[in-house]
């Protein structure tokens, strides 16, 4: 070894064995020994004690190893718990690699710090206490530095890593305890340094197993100055699991599913001016979210936020897009579904507080509100701006397209609302001033369908609000708090232009018994609108320049049409609804074109009244709108115009329906208002398709109804009203028109019914009523006109100056069954029950339902046709050209109408009517004379054949009928004058009275061929059996009967001889034909009477009385024989006279004559038969009686006596100055006289008959005993 080497080693030895080196070596050895051998045990020993004493916790450590050479520290299995043993934290291994470079870098430098499987437990117990509370208090109770340092430690960590970390969290202070953990937690940071301007890269990866999320964060970080930048990304976050980590969230929000991802790039630096930061490329995505809060839920497929940026220095935030797909939100019965939504750009400047957002587009909207389904194609807006400082928002345009609202359960049903477009332009909202301004609001709807239900609610509103959810307790609390909060300020809304268009509007109202349907097409509304909306107060609304146009309308009730129109237009209208004040409407012209109404009067009532009759189950009282108080509304309409007005009017209550079609109607009214007292100028005109025109012009005040109108009715066809007659008469109205022109004045009445007065003229032309069978005319006229007409409704009265009837006609027929055509025409109706009245209380005592006064009634050429078909041939008489006047026709009790009428009967007859009567009280006071002249009696031949059994060949009749009625007592005098009457042949009729008319006519007719008959009649009109025809016919029959039964008495009465004048009995002494002087005088009077009745022939029947004449002749023959025995001869034409029984010669002659014819024994027997005390005179009388009986008188003897008597009468009538022509005295065959006509003698009864020149062929002699009555009395 060389010296040099030895020297080196020596020096080295000395150095190494030097005290400093030895001290250093000792320190090193101590350091190494302490590091390797003591650090671990000491740490294991003191760490638990320090934790207990300083931290009030329990700590355990498994192994602590320190490598003094490598300067690395390893700690294994460290656990920290509370004093009660509740785990707090721990790790499996902590490795710290200290870099010696810290000595020359002058900074704490670590090559590596690694923490494996750290475990942190956070537990919250019941009551809110956390397991870390004691540790935190212990740390807070330690010594604090007197002055905080203004520098940060210099630290450099080349590599920091946390691997497999776990964070556990448990919360028992909940309704439902919550436990979760975050694992594995991996953090890696490179070059972490607090040195100035030093930066280090980092990467953090965190797995959330329960949330199925991964957090990745990488970038750089600088601690001096504090600066960081990089990118963070959170992916796969299970929102349902993450929601459990939020305390109390489950009570308000439940998330069933959803995955969230979030990414962003950031940069931040903390400088002298503060923290400067920015976030760029912000993106977020939420997929498959399903969440529920109370009864509300929301879910969507995907929500994306892209290109977001937040600049903390400029305070500007923006984003490029927000896109949402597949959204569905539910709340109670409300649901919203959104196919997609996209917001293109948004920006907010925090410095100026200005905001802007790009166009917003919502596509495929659908949903449910209550029981209503909603669909919309899109909702789009243009880019808008906002000023948070001024609290204003501007939106250029918002448009909603293709919105449909329809029943949820009936997707095939027509939609309630089919909205093509809803567009808002130039919208500005001022939140500070509570003002909303819209430049324009445009609504285009293809269809709107509404239905009002029976309870008065709109079905759409009801279904929108159906099953509304009850508020949750939190909402109730919020509502209660809101109620206590100060009232919100009123909002003002201004719309520059409102334009609404509806193509089809359908409205059904089921609140009426018969559902009402309204269909309206092409509705356009334009207006400017402003409103003030104050919570708790009525809205204040003003509409300016409102204009309305509507197309066709149809209004139906229960499927039957009510009304329709073609177009409607409303001019510029101003509407003001001041809320608490009186509403005011100033409407412009309202024009309706082609309005047509259907009006039907059915058995159940008027269709319009039935159409608006509410259902029985009306809306509950609580639902009724409260009655409005305050001043009445002021509504004014400038004008109303109805053009081409039409209506169909049906009356279905009559047996045959009545239909009227109103056409070409025009209605014009000016200055209408709700002030119903204000007169309204009105013009009306229309025509009827069936015929006729009407017009009216004037002013009307609706309530109370008052006004004055000039009206005109031209040629109104009456035939449509013909069925109104059917309940009363069996007639057809085949023609007729009505016209009128005048003034109608309306004024308030005492009751709700107004008083109506009409002044003017009226007429009915060409009226024709015919019988249904054969269309035979019954009643009619050419013209019935009233001038100076006044009709008043209260009290009901009719006044006319002149009533003119031109060519009226009527037809009266007695049918074959003896019924009048009037009876067949008049239909019987069930009488209304009324209290019984006395017979004297007739119609005359009952006042008319109206007051009637006609100054002059003029009749021109009236025509009355009477036909009697009950007799064959038919009887017909016609009164024509009846003209005249009836003046003073009135219902006044003290008035009488003066009558003067002249007419023609058949071809050449004349009729006159004169007199006075009370037409409506005819039984009180009537004095009428009917004068008929030159009536052809051949026309009444059917009547004479039916009732008298003879026809009439010819003859003329004049009749003057005078009737006076006073207090229902009739006195009549009928004077008939018949000229040249000729009867025809006999007619077999079962109803004919068996009277010898030829004789009656011959008795009545004078020498000039004229028959004058006065026929007075009387009667009590109160007698229910009274009839004019019956009493006259009875009088006629009575006259004829008396004439034919006592012609001589009648003849005498007609000639003024009295009732007992000119008897037809000529008296003769029994057995004699000698006329006594009184009988001769009687025959003289008979001859004088017959001289004045040239058509009469006298019949003288040879008459005898077999008993009386035989006895007289037998007695005369015995007397002759006795006188012959006495020698006395009596001429044949002389009477023998009585026998003198006191003369003995006479007695002897009687005895001789008796014994000549009888034996003596017969005389003895005769004597014995006489009563005791009988004298000789009695015996002689008995002998003469037996002798007379023995005389035989032959019939020829009696006939000869009868002929002698007839010849004596014949000679007396045909001789002398007043002798009758021989041809007028006829001798007949012998007849026996009635024993009752003369007690002792014999009566020859003369007979009368019509001669060959009479009205008909000669009849047999007629005659009968006289009756004590006067033919002239006619009763």
Those residues with Cβ within 8 angstroms of residue 1190's Cβ, 6 or more apart along the chain or in another chain: 1157
Alpha-carbon separation of residue 972 from 477, 1038, 1039, 1271, 1274 (angstroms):
106, 16, 16, 17, 12
HEC string of 538-554? CCEEEEEEEEEEECCEE
pLDDT value for 471: 46
Residue with structure tokens 């009995």?
A: 1065
- Between strands 969-986 and 950-966, the pairing is antiparallel
Tokens linked to 191: 């070059």
Classify 913 as helix, strand or coil.
Answer: strand
The predicted structure's pLDDT at residue 957? 82
- Tens digit of pLDDT for each residue in 1100-1128? 999 999 888 888 888 888 888 888 888 88
Q: Is the distance from CB of 1062 to CB of 1088 less than 8 angstroms?
A: no
Percentage of residues of the chain with pLDDT beyond 90: 17
pLDDT value of residue 622: 41
Which is more confidently placed, 1214 or 1026?
1214
Of 273-282, 315-324, 373-382, 907-916, the poorest mean pLDDT is in 273-282
- Torsion over CA of 253, 259, 265 and 271, rounded to 10 degrees? 30
Task: Read off the pLDDT of each residue in 1033-1054 and give the average, rounded to a whole number.
Answer: 64
pLDDT for res 1045: 64
- Euclidean distance between CA atoms 347 and 351, whole angstroms: 12
Query: Per the structure block, which two tokens stand in for 658?
Result: 């009545």
pLDDT greater than 70 at residue 382: yes
Tokens standing for 657? 């329906």
The SS3 call for residue 1017 is strand
Q: Which residues of 656-683 are buried (b: 16+ CB within 10 A; e: fewer)?
A: eebebebbebebbbeebbeeeeeebebb
Give the DSSP per-residue string, 733-759.
Answer: EEEEEEEEEEEEEEE--SSSSPEEEEE
Taking the alpha carbons of 570, 576, 577, 580 in that order, is the dihedral positive or negative?
A: negative
In three-state secondary structure terms, 1198 is: helix
Residue 1268 pLDDT > 80: no
Buried b (16+ CB within 10 A) or exposed e, 508-525: bbbbbbbbbbbbbeebeb
The per-residue pLDDT for range 19-63, each reduced to its tens digit, is 777 777 777 777 677 777 777 788 888 888 888 888 888 888 988
Instruction: State residue 1023's pLDDT score.
Output: 67
CA distances from 290 to 10, 259, 284, 373 (A): 87, 10, 17, 22
Is residue 535's pLDDT more than 50? yes
Question: Binning pLDDT at 50, 70 and 90, where does residue 625 land?
Answer: very low
CB 949 within 8 A of CB 992: yes
The SS3 of residue 943 is helix
What is the model's pLDDT at position 986?
Answer: 81
Q: Are 1186 and 1154 in contact (CB under 8 A)?
A: yes
- The arithmetic mean of pLDDT across residues 250-268, rounded, is 83
The pLDDT of residue 1220? 86
- Between residues 264 and 40, the one the model is more confident about: 264
Give dist(CA 917, CA 899) in Å, integer.
8
The angle at the Cα of 1161, spanning 1156 to 1165, to the nearest 5 degrees, equals 115
Sign of the CA dihedral with 1134 first, then 1139, 1143, and 1149 last? positive
Give pLDDT, residue 524. Answer: 92
Nearest-angstrom CA–CA distance, 1177 and 682? 127
**Helix ranges restricted to H, 1075-1133:** 1077-1092, 1106-1125
Q: CA-CA distance, 561 to 564, in Å (whole number)?
A: 8
Peptide bond into 704 cis (omega under 30): yes
Q: Which residue has the tokens 């115009």?
A: 641
pLDDT in tens, 1056-1082: 555 554 467 889 988 888 899 999 888
Burial class of residue 78 in the structure, from the number of CB atoms within 10 Å of its CB (0-12 exposed, 13-18 middle, 19+ buried) = buried
State the pLDDT at residue 805. Answer: 93
Q: Is 658 left (phi over 0), alpha (psi -120 to 50) or beta?
A: beta
Helix runs in 826-937, H state only: none
- Identify the residue whose tokens are 């209660």: 480
Of 254-263, 645-654, 860-869, 995-1004, which gets the smallest average pLDDT?
995-1004
pLDDT of residue 837: 46
Confidence at residue 206, expressed as pLDDT on a 0 to 100 scale: 64
8 A C-beta contact, residue 64 and residue 39: yes
- Which residues, including other chains, have CB under 8 Å from residue 1152's CB and lie 6 or more apart? 1125
Mean pLDDT, residues 273-302 taken together = 83
Rounded average pLDDT over 1170-1199? 87
The pLDDT of residue 835 is above 70 = no
Q: Residues, the chain, total?
A: 1275
Residue 902, SS3 per DSSP: strand
- What pLDDT is stored for residue 486 in this prediction? 52
Structure-block tokens of residue 883: 């003209």
Q: At what angle do helices 1028-1045 and 997-1004 cross, to 10 degrees?
A: 90
Gap between the Cα atoms of 1121 and 1146, Å rounded: 11
Beta strand 796-806 with 851-868: parallel, antiparallel or unpaired? parallel
pLDDT at position 979 is: 85
Q: Which of 1-10, 272-281, 1157-1166, 1195-1204 has the lowest mean pLDDT?
A: 1-10
In terms of average pLDDT, the best of 208-217, 362-371, 1235-1244 is 362-371
Q: Which residue has tokens 């006042």?
A: 847
CB atoms within 10 A of CB 223: 21
Per-residue pLDDT averaged across 859-865, rounded?
90
Return mean pLDDT, the chain.
80
Between strands 909-917 and 435-452, the pairing is unpaired
Share of the chain above pLDDT 70, in %: 85
Helix (H, G, I), strand (E, B) or coil at 630: coil
Q: Is the Cβ–Cβ distance between 928 and 899 less than 8 Å?
A: yes
Asked if 292 and 472 touch (Cβ cutoff 8 Å), the reply is no
What torsion do the CA atoms of 463, 466, 472, 473 make, to the nearest 10 degrees?
120
pLDDT tens figures, 84-140: 888 889 999 999 888 877 666 677 888 889 999 999 998 888 888 888 888 888 877
Task: Select the more confidently predicted residue: 768 or 703.
Answer: 768
Most confident residue range from 406-415, 559-568, 607-616, 1089-1098: 559-568
Burial tier of 1125 (Cβ tally within 10 Å: 0-12, 13-18, 19+)? middle
Look at residue 1259 and tell me whether its pLDDT is greater than 50: no
Predicted pLDDT at 1265: 30
> How much is the pLDDT for 482?
46
Closest CA to 1183 of 1148, 1211, 1210: 1148
Strands 776-793 and 755-771: antiparallel
Q: For residue 1270, what pLDDT is reported?
A: 30
- Residue 1012 vs residues 758, 928, 1040, 1251, 1272: alpha-carbon distances, Å: 54, 21, 13, 20, 11
pLDDT value of position 1063: 66
Give the range among 49-53, 987-991, 1044-1048 with minimum mean pLDDT: 1044-1048
State the number of CA atoms in the 13 A half-sphere of 820 facing the CB: 9
3-state DSSP of 66-91: EECCCCEEEEEEEEEEECCCCEEEEE
* Cβ atoms 759, 788 nearer than 8 A: no
Range among 131-145, 147-161, 669-683 with highest mean pLDDT value: 669-683
Q: Do you find a cis peptide bond into 225, omega within 30 degrees of 0? A: yes
- What is the secondary structure of 88-114 as a DSSP string? EEEEEEEEEEE-TTHHHHTSEEEEEEE
What pLDDT is attached to residue 1? 55
How many C-beta neighbours within 10 Å does residue 1241 have?
19
Per-residue model confidence (pLDDT) at position 546? 92
> What residues pair up with 932 in beta bridges, in sequence order?
911, 959
Per-residue CA distances from 1216 to 472, 863, 1187, 1220 (Å): 147, 58, 43, 9
- The count of other CB atoms within 10 Å of the CB of residue 1157 is 12
CA 469 → CA 294, 333, 465, 931, distances in Å? Answer: 10, 8, 9, 99
On the question of pLDDT at 607 being above 70, the answer is yes
């Amino acid at each position: 070894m060389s010296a040099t080497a030895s020297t080196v080693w020596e020096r080295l030895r000395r150095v190494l064995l030097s005290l400093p080196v030895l001290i250093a070596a000792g320190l090193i050895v101590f350091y190494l020994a302490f590091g390797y051998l003591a650090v671990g045990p000491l740490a294991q020993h003191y760490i638990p004690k320090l934790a207990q004493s300083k931290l009030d916790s329990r700590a355990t450590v498994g192994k602590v190893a320190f490598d003094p050479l490598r300067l690395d520290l390893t700690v294994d299995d460290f656990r920290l718990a509370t004093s009660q043993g509740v785990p707090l934290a721990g790790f499996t291994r902590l490795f710290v690699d200290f870099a010696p470079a810290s000595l020359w870098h002058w900074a704490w430098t670590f090559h590596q710090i690694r923490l494996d499987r750290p475990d942190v437990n956070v537990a919250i117990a019941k009551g809110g206490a956390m397991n870390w509370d004691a540790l935190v208090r212990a740390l807070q109770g330690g010594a604090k530095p007197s002055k905080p340092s203004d520098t940060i430690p210099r630290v450099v960590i080349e590599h920091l890593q946390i691997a497999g970390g776990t964070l556990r969290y448990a919360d028992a202070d909940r309704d439902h305890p919550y436990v979760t953990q975050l694992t594995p937690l991996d953090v890696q940071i490179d070059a972490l340094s607090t040195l100035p301007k030093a930066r280090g890269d980092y990467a953090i990866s965190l797995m959330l197993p329960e949330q199925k999320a991964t957090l990745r964060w990488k970038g750089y970080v600088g601690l001096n100055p504090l600066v960081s930048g990089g990118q963070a990304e959170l992916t796969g976050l299970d929102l349902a699991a993450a929601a459990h980590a939020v305390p109390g969230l489950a009570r308000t929000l439940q998330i069933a599913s959803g995955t969230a991802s979030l990414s962003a790039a950031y940069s931040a630096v903390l400088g002298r001016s503060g923290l400067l930061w920015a976030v760029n490329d912000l993106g977020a995505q939420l997929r498959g979210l399903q969440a529920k809060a109370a009864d509300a839920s929301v879910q969507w497929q995907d929500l994306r936020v892209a290109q977001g940026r937040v600049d903390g220095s400029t305070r500007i935030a923006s984003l490029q897009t927000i896109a949402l797909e597949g959204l569905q939100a539910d709340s109670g019965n409300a649901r919203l579904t959104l196919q997609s939504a996209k917001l293109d750009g948004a920006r907010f400047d925090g410095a100026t507080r200005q905001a802007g957002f790009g166009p917003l587009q919502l596509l495929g909207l659908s949903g449910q509100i209550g029981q209503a389904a909603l669909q919309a194609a899109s909702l789009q807006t243009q880019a808008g701006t906002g000023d948070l400082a001024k609290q204003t928002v501007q939106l250029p345009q918002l448009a909603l397209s293709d919105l449909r609202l329809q029943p949820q359960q009936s997707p095939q049903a027509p939609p309630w609302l089919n909205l093509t477009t809803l567009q808002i332009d130039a919208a500005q909202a001022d939140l500070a001033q509570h003002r909303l301004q819209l430049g324009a609001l445009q609504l285009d709807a293809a269809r709107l369908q509404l239905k009002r239900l029976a309870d008065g609610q709109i079905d759409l509103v009801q279904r929108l609000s159906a099953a509304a959810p009850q508020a949750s307790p939190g909402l109730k609390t919020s509502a209660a708090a809101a109620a206590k909060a100060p009232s919100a300020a009123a909002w003002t809304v201004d719309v520059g232009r409102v334009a609404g268009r509806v193509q089809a509007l359908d409205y059904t109202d089921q609140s009426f018994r018969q559902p009402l349907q309204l269909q309206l097409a092409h509705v356009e509304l334009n207006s400017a609108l402003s409103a003030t909306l104050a919570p708790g107060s009525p809205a204040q609304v003003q509409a300016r320049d409102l204009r309305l146009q509507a197309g066709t309308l149809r209004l139906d009730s229960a499927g039957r049409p009510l009304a329709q129109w073609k177009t409607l237009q409303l001019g510029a209208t101003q509407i003001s609804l001041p809320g608490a004040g009186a509403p005011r409407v100033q409407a412009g012209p309202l024009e309706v074109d082609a309005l047509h109404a259907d009006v039907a009067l059915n058995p159940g009532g008027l269709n319009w009244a039935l159409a608006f009759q509410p259902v029985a189950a009306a809306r509950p009282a609580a639902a009724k709108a409260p009655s409005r108080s305050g001043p009445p509304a002021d509504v004014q309409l400038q004008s109303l115009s109805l053009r081409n007005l039409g209506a169909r009017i049906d009356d279905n209550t009559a047996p045959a329906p009545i239909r009227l079609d109103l056409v070409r109607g025009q209605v014009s009214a000016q200055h209408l208002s709700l002030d119903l007292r204000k007169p309204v100028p009105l013009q009306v005109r229309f025509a009827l398709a069936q015929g006729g025109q009407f017009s009216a012009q004037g002013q009307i005040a609706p309530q109370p109804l008052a006004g004055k109108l000039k009206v005109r009715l031209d040629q109104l066809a009456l035939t449509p009203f013909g069925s109104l007659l059917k309940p009363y008469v069996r007639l057809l109205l085949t023609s007729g028109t009505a016209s009128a022109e005048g003034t109608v004045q309306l004024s308030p009445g005492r009751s709700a019914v107004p008083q109506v007065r009409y002044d003017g003229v009226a007429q009915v032309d060409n009226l024709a009523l015919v019988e249904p069978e054969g269309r035979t005319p019954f009643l009619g006229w050419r013209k019935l006109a009233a001038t100076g007409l006044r009709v008043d409704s209260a009290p009901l009265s009719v006044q006319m100056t002149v009533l003119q009837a031109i060519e009226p006609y009527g037809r009266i027929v007695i049918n074959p069954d003896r019924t009048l055509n009037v009876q067949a025409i008049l239909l019987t109706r069930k009488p209304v029950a009324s209290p019984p009245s006395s017979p004297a209380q007739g119609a005359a005592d009952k006042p008319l339902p109206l007051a009637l006064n006609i100054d002059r009634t003029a009749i021109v050429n009236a025509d009355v046709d009477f036909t009697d078909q009950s007799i064959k041939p038919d009887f017909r008489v016609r009164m024509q050209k009846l003209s005249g006047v009836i003046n003073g026709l009135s219902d006044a009790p003290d008035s009488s109408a003066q009558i003067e009428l002249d007419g023609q009967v058949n071809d050449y007859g004349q009729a006159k009517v004169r007199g006075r009567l009370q037409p409506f009280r005819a039984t009180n006071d009537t004095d009428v004379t009917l004068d008929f002249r030159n009536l052809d009696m051949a026309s009444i031949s059917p009547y004479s054949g039916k009732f008298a059994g003879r026809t009439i060949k010819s003859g003329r009749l004049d009749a003057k009928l005078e009737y006076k009625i006073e207090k229902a007592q009739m006195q009549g005098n009928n004077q008939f004058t018949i000229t040249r009457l000729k009867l025809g042949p006999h007619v077999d009729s079962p109803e004919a009275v068996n009277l010898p008319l030829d004789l009656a006519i011959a008795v009545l007719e004078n020498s000039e061929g004229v028959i004058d008959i006065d026929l007075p009649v009387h009667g009590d009109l109160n007698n229910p059996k009274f009839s004019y025809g019956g009493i006259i016919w009875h009088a006629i029959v009575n006259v004829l009967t008396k004439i034919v039964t006592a012609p001589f008495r009648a003849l005498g009465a007609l000639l003024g001889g009295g009732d007992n004048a000119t008897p037809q009995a000529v008296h003769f002494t029994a057995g004699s034909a000698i006329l006594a002087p009184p009988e001769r005088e009687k025959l003289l009077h008979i001859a004088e009477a017959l001289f004045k009745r040239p058509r009469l022939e006298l019949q003288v029947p040879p008459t005898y009385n077999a008993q009386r004449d035989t006895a007289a002749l037998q007695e005369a023959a015995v007397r002759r024989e006795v006188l012959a025995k006495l020698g006395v001869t009596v001429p044949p034409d002389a009477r023998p006279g009585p026998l003198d029984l006191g003369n003995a010669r006479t007695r002897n002659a009687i005895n001789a004559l008796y014994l000549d014819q009888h034996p003596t024994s017969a005389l003895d027997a005769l004597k014995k038969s006489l009563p005791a005390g009988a004298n000789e005179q009695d015996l002689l009388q008995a002998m003469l009686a037996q002798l007379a009986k023995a005389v035989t008188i032959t019939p020829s003897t009696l006939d000869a006596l009868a002929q002698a008597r007839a010849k004596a009468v014949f000679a007396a009538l045909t001789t002398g100055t007043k002798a009758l022509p021989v041809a007028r005295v006829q001798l007949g065959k012998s007849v026996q006289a009635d024993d009752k006509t003369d007690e002792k003698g014999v009566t020859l009864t003369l007979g009368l008959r019509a001669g060959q020149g009479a009205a008909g062929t000669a009849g047999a002699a007629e005659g009968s005993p006289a009756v004590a009555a006067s033919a002239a009395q006619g009763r």
